[in-house]
Chains A and B, each alone.
Chain A
Amino acid sequence: MAGHTRPLRILLAKLGMDTHTVGVTVIAHALREAGMEVIFTGLKQTPAMVAAAAIQEDVDVVGISTLSAGHTRSLPQLAQLLREAGAGDKLLLAGGVIPEEDRPLLEQAGVDRIFTMGSDTREIVDYLNQWWSRQPGSPD
C-alpha cells in the first residue's frame, strides 16, 4: 500500500442552531493531536453550506456534531447534497445525541458511522486511522 504524503483532512461542522461546542472541541483537539488536518466551518451551518465547504476543501472525511433533534432531517439532506455533487466517496460521520432508533434511517441515508455522545476520542482516531490506511495513497 502506498503511504500518504499528507495528513488526513476532515471537515468538522455543527448543523442547525445548536451551539454546544464542548464535544466538537474535544474531538477537534484529539484529531489534531493525532496528526490530522481539521477544517472547522463554524456553528449554525446548513447542509448546503457544509456540502459546499466539503467539496471546496476536498476533505477525506466530513464529521457532523449534533445535539438537537434536527439530525433526522439535516444529515440525510447533507448526504444527498454530497452525492449530487459527486462527492459521495467522502466518509460521513455523525456524533452527538443520536438515539438508537434513528440509526437505521441515518445509515440508510448515507451516514457511514455514528459516534454517540461520550465516545472515546481514541476510538474515533483509531477508526479514522484504519479507514485512512485502507484508502489508496499517492504513488511515489
Chain B
Amino acid sequence: MEVAAALVKGNVAAGARAMRWLDDRDPRGADVVSAVIGHTGGAHVVGLTGPPGAGKSTLASALIAEARRREHRVGVVAVDPSSPFTGGAILGDRVRMARHALDPDVFIRSVGTRGQAGGLSRSTHDTCLILDAMGYDLILVETVGVGQDEIEIVALAHTTVIVGLPGLGDEVQAVKAGLMEVGEIIVINKADREGLDHTLQHYETMLHLRASAQPDAPDAWTPPLLTAVATREEGTAAVVDAIEAHGRWLRANGEFAARSGRRARAQAMVLLRDRLSTLLDQHADPQVLAAVEARELDVYSAADALLAGLREALRRG
C-alpha cells in the first residue's frame, strides 16, 4: 500500500490523501488505517474548546510556536461549522496559523462539521489517527466553539483545554459548566482585557465545586487555571508545560493508553452504527414502509417487521 508506506515516513501529500479518502468513505481509507495502525498510539491528542471569540486559533498558533521550540512535531485539526442549510462552510482558522505554513513539522487540516453535532466532524478521529501515524506527536484539535454541546472533544482527546476569556457574561461561560466537569486545563486567553479578576473568580468557584464533588484521590489531576495573551505569546509556554505535565500524569497512571483505547472502542461503535444505518436503509422492506404510510400497519409492528427482515437478510449474507 503505497500511500500508507509513504505517510508513515511522513510524506505530507500521502497523509493528506489518506485523510481525503477517509473523509470520502473511500474503502482505500480503511485499508490505510489497517496498514498504519501499528504506527499509531504515540500521539498526545489535545482538544481546545471554548466559546466563540476566545481566540482558540490564535492560542493554537502560539502553542504550535512553543511546541516547535520544544521540538514537538505538531498536527492541527481545525473544525469550523458547516452551514446546516447548504452543507457549505468557510474554514478560516488557518489564517491565524499562517506563520507556520512553511514549517515541515506542522501539519494543519481544516474540516467542516458537515452536520455532525458536538463540535467535531465525523472524520476528526480518522484525521488524528493519520497525523499520529505520520509522526506528529502533539495533535491539537480546535473545536467549533458554538457555545454548547462540545463534549465530544473529551471523548476524543487525551487532554481537554478549555479556553475562556475575560468579560464574557457569566451566563455564556456557565454554558460550559458541563465541560468544566471534565476539562483538564483552563486557560483564560486575552488576559489583558478588562474583567479578568471577575472571570478568574468565576472559574475558581467552578473548579472548587468540581473538586469538592469528587472523591479525594492522592494522585488526582488538579486542573490548573492559567492566563494567557496568545497574540503576544504571553503565558503560552505555561500552557504547553501544563499539557506536557498532563501527558506525563496520564502515562504514569496508565490513563494515556486507556483513553486511546476507549476512543478506539467508541469509534468502532460509531462505524458500526454507520454501517448498520446503511444496511437498514438498504434492507428496509418497501412494502412494510408503504403499509405504514397507508396507515394499514402501526409503527411498532412495522419496526418489528423491518428488524426481522434485516436479520433474515444478514443470515442469508
Are A36 and B19 interface neighbours, CB within 8 A?
no
Interface size on B, residues (CB 8 A): 32
Name the residue of chain B whose CB is nearest to the CB of A25: B90
Q: Is A70 an interface residue (CB 8 A)?
A: no
A1-34 interface mask toward B, CB cutoff 8 Å, 1 = contact, 0 = none?
A: 0001111000000000000000000001101111
Are A56 and B108 interface neighbours, CB within 8 A?
yes
Q: Is A105 an interface residue (CB 8 A)?
A: no
Q: Is A97 an interface residue (CB 8 A)?
A: no
Are B86 and A37 interface neighbours, CB within 8 A?
no
Partner of A85, one of B13, B89, B101, B102: B13
Interface residues of A in 83-108 (CB under 8 A from B): 85-87
Partner of B89, one of A37, A45, A55, A86: A37
A31 to B90, CA, bound (A): 9
Name the residue of chain B whose CB is nearest to the CB of A87: B13
Partner of B24, one of A6, A29, A40, A56: A6
Are B109 and A32 interface neighbours, CB within 8 A?
no
Are B94 and A55 interface neighbours, CB within 8 A?
no
Q: Is B12 an interface residue (CB 8 A)?
A: yes
Q: Is B254 an interface residue (CB 8 A)?
A: no
Are A39 and B20 interface neighbours, CB within 8 A?
no
Q: Is B302 an interface residue (CB 8 A)?
A: no
Interface residues of A in 117-140 (CB under 8 A from B): 137-139
- Assuming the contacts A7-B112, A49-B102, A138-B25, asked whether A35 and B86 have C-beta atoms less than 8 A apart, the reply is yes
Are B24 and A138 interface neighbours, CB within 8 A?
yes
Q: Is A74 an interface residue (CB 8 A)?
A: no
- Assuming the contacts A37-B82, A42-B95, A139-B26, asked whether A57 and B109 have C-beta atoms less than 8 A apart, the reply is yes
Chain B residues whose C-beta falls within 8 Å of the C-beta of A49 in the assembled complex: 98, 101-102
Q: Is A38 an interface residue (CB 8 A)?
A: yes
Are B102 and A32 interface neighbours, CB within 8 A?
no
Are A139 and B27 interface neighbours, CB within 8 A?
yes
Among A7, A33, A37, A41, the one with the most B-chain Cβ atoms within 10 Å of its Cβ is A37
Are A36 and B101 interface neighbours, CB within 8 A?
no
Q: Is A48 an interface residue (CB 8 A)?
A: yes
Chain A residues whose C-beta falls within 8 Å of the C-beta of B23 in the assembled complex: 6
Q: Is A112 an interface residue (CB 8 A)?
A: no
Are B102 and A52 interface neighbours, CB within 8 A?
yes
| Closest CB in chain A relative to B27 CB, distance in Å | 7
B100-121 interface mask toward A, CB cutoff 8 Å, 1 = contact, 0 = none?
A: 0110000111101010000000
| Closest CB in chain A relative to B276 CB, distance in Å | 16
Pair count A-B, CB < 8 A: 95
Interface residues of B in 210-248 (CB under 8 A from A): none
Task: Categorize the interface residue count of chain A.
Answer: 20 to 34
Q: Is B273 an interface residue (CB 8 A)?
A: no
Chain A residues whose C-beta falls within 8 Å of the C-beta of B87 in the assembled complex: 7, 35
Are A57 and B110 interface neighbours, CB within 8 A?
yes
A9 to B25, CA, bound (A): 15
Are A56 and B95 interface neighbours, CB within 8 A?
no
Q: Is B52 an interface residue (CB 8 A)?
A: no
Are A38 and B89 interface neighbours, CB within 8 A?
yes
Name the residue of chain A whose CB is nearest to the CB of B24: A138
Chain B residues whose C-beta falls within 8 Å of the C-beta of A57 in the assembled complex: 16, 108-110
Are B102 and A5 interface neighbours, CB within 8 A?
no
A61 to B110, CA, bound (A): 15
Chain A residues whose C-beta falls within 8 Å of the C-beta of B301 in the assembled complex: none
Partner of A86, one of B13, B20, B26: B13
Are B88 and A32 interface neighbours, CB within 8 A?
yes
Chain B residues whose C-beta falls within 8 Å of the C-beta of A58 in the assembled complex: 13, 16-17, 19-20
Supply 4 further A-B pairs (C-beta < 8 A) apart from A31-B88, A58-B16.
Answer: A5-B24, A33-B86, A58-B19, A138-B26
Can you identify 20 A-B contacts, CB atoms within 8 angstroms? A5-B25, A6-B24, A7-B82, A7-B87, A7-B89, A28-B90, A32-B88, A32-B90, A34-B88, A35-B83, A52-B101, A53-B94, A55-B16, A86-B13, A87-B13, A138-B21, A138-B24, A138-B25, A138-B26, A139-B27
Give me the 4 closest cross-chain CB pairs, A-B, nearest first: A42-B95, A32-B88, A58-B16, A138-B24
